[in-house]
């Protein structure tokens, strides 16, 4: 499952569900998410993402084009992903 959480509003948007995520699928879901946000993309400053292999450079580039800073979670730092884990 791919989801995005807005920390300011605690709104969760489920972007998609698949048994076999791939880099191109994840990237397309990110594009769809930004299209759905419309003018609100300006409010995205940071994106904290999992270190999974399916999060490719093209996924990061989608958010970097709107000026967001992409931060992969650090290995063995469970508190960095605490909101998503709950």
**Domains, the chain, with CATH or none:** 2-85 (3.30.420.10)
pLDDT of 48 over the 70 cut = yes
Q: Residue 27 — very low, low, confident or very high, per pLDDT cuts 50/70/90?
A: very high
pTM: 0.84
pLDDT of 83 over the 70 cut = no
HEC string of the chain? Answer: CEEEEECCCCEEEEEECCCCCCHHHHHHHHHHHHHHHHHHHHHCCEEEECCCCCCCHHHHHHHHCCCCEEEECCCCCHHHHHHHHC
Tell me what pLDDT residue 85 has: 64
pLDDT tens digits for 34-45?
999 888 888 899
């Amino acid at each position: 499952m791919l989801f995005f959480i807005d920390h300011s509003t605690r709104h969760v948007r489920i972007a998609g569900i698949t048994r076999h995520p791939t880099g191109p699928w994840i990237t397309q879901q990110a594009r769809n998410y930004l299209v759905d946000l419309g003018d609100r993309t300006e409010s995205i400053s940071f994106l904290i993402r999992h270190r999974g292999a399916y999060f490719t450079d093209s996924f990061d580039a989608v958010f970097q084009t709107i000026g967001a800073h992409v931060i992969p979670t650090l290995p063995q730092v469970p508190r960095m992903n605490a909101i998503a884990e709950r």
